[in-house]
Amino acid sequence: MTAFADYFVDFQNVWLAYNDELLTQNHFAVEDINLQVKQGEFIAIVGPSGCGKSTFMKLTTGLKKPSRGEIFVDGQPVNGPLKISGMAFQSSSLLPWRTTLDNVLLPLEIVEPYRSNFKAKKAEYEARALKLLQSVGLSGYERKFPWELSGGMQQRASICRALIHEPKMLLLDEPFGALDAFTREELWCTLRDLHAEQKFNVILVTHDLRESVFLADTVYVMSKSPGRFVVKRDIDLPRPRDLEVTYTPEFTNIVHELRGHIGAMRKEGTHLGQ
Amino acid sequence: MNQKQLETWAPWGLLVATLVIWQTACSLFHVSEFVFPSPLRIWEQMVEYRDVIAGHAWRTFWVTMVGFGIAIVVGVLLGFVIGSSRLAYAAVYPLMTGFNALPKAAFVPILVVWFGIGVGPAILTAFLISFFPIMVNIATGLATLEPELEDVLRVLGAKRWDVLIKVGLPRSMPYFYGSLKVAITLAFVGTTVSEMTAANEGIGYLLISAGSAMQMGLAFAGLVVVGAMAMVMYELFSLVEKHTTGWAHRGSQNH
């Protein structure tokens, strides 16, 4: 097992069927996933909708157990919810009766070891949350309610909530999908800076190819039914990356190349369908 | 006068208009007070019998509040159980719907056999008629939880109980207060109906005895009083609702 400890996330021939019936029919949501992610690596997973990206997230966080194969995270086999991970989704799902600050603090009321001393150390945790909110440009909005914030601000708060317990791994499921193009690019930069500063692992699920190339160290392309990883593409654009990089030929070429893979898959899909 | 003020005063205007038309019709056509008393006649009777009416009204009020109190406790507990467990929901819900379809007035004779004439049947009828909306609303609030939020919390090791306390219960509060408004008016209906056959005191009893003595003015006065009490309690609970769960009414603040 020590051999795999070099990798932070390690999937070994992972298959998942949603229930026993589907398993006996050999009908899998994701098939034969092999994935090795280094410490601090930022990976993005792209693919058509319904290809099992979200299933992959549930496997990584231990919310679902694989039908076959094994998953290791941080050198340990995954068998149960993985508290070292933080999650954020397309909908910010902030609680409307809590202020932004209290929403960000919510995980600390639940996860150990913070939970036991939450009341005693509340001031310290609040200071931490305020600092985090400040780092994503939300100072001045701590005492506002989520419904008083714009969509982009809600998403920033949602990412803060995912990071407040200092997870080693951040999982994002199309977090910027519902935002307008300008806000989205702003949040790319916010995420880039948070990652550069705190060095956690990121798994970003998206169907925005530019987003994946701009942010990730490695992009994986997933195929639809069966959900498989079909392409692995290292993004060797130098860091720190500026938004300007998205207008360079190197960048565009990579996006084009990935687009080609997805286009080919979609064509295949229609042939199979006929 | 702007639109908002107009809306505030509209119900009072309508009330006055109704009274005026009612009074005019009664005076104009010389309607006998034994058939349909005029508002003035009802007012006279109300003043004349104010002590009697006040006594009966107080009885109806506290009986209703006791029944309503039991309804809150039972409704919240049952709602919590069936809202937090799918199995309990599947088991309890169909039976409860069937029970709710029964006319509660039909329980009164049975309750009289068990508890005799008096407060017992009235309290229980008020309770039986008003706990259902409370239970359903608590259960609905608890059962609706976004799957994403559940994932966010579960990955942190949240137990079912944590999710219920931190998310489900606060989320069901607007539903709860909304249901209290409906339930309190129903509770008054329950008490009055029960008092009509199974009590020697209360507005329901007053209605029956005034009716049989052909004192229509007094009977109508009783109706007005019970209606006024229900309305005041309704307004009270909508005030409580607005002040405790403002986040759920944010839409109205923007306009």
Q: Which two tokens stand for residue A269?
A: 């899909």
pTM score of the predicted model: 0.77
Alpha-carbon A50 to chain mean position: 16
Kindly state the tokens that stand for A197: 């500063």
The partner residues of A36 in beta bridges, in order of sequence, read: A10
Could you tell me the residue ranges of all domains in chain B?
36-244
The CATH code for residues B36-244 is 1.10.3720.10
Tokens of B104: 């509660």
Q: What confidence tens digit (pLDDT) does each residue in A66-105 have?
A: 888 889 888 888 888 888 888 888 888 899 889 999 999 9
- Interface predicted TM-score of the whole assembly (ipTM), two decimals: 0.77
CA A266 from centre of chain: 24
Structural tokens at position B78: 């049952």
The answer to whether A186 and A222 have CB atoms below 8 angstroms apart is no
In order of start, what are the domains of chain A with their CATH numbers?
2-84+171-273 (3.40.50.300), 94-167 (no CATH)
pLDDT surpasses 70 at A5: no
A9 forms beta bridges with A37, A73
Question: Does the pLDDT at position B183 exceed 90?
Answer: yes
Looking at residue B250, its pLDDT comes to 64
Q: Give CA separation, B24 vs A246, B34, B96, in Å.
A: 81, 17, 48
C-alpha–C-alpha distance, residues B107 and A101, integer Å = 52
pLDDT tens digit sequence for A165-184: 888 999 998 888 888 888 88
Kindly identify which residue of chain A lies nearest to residue B168, measuring between CA atoms: A95
Q: Is the pLDDT of residue A50 over 80?
A: no
Q: Is the pLDDT confidence value at B174 over 60?
A: yes
Which of B152, B157, B170 faces A97 most closely, judged by CB atoms?
A: B170
pLDDT of amino acid B125? 92
pLDDT for the residue B1: 65
- Tell me how close the Cα of B145 comes to any Cα of chain A, in angstroms: 10
Residue in chain B closest to A62 (alpha carbons) equals: B155
Mutation target for A interface from B148, B152, B153, B155: give the one with most A CBs within 10 A: B155
What residue ranges in chain A does DSSP mark as E strands? Answer: 7-16, 30-38, 42-46, 68-73, 76-77, 85-89, 169-173, 201-206, 218-223, 228-234
Report the chain A residue with the minimal C-alpha distance to residue B146.
A93
What is the pLDDT, as a whole number, of residue A101?
93
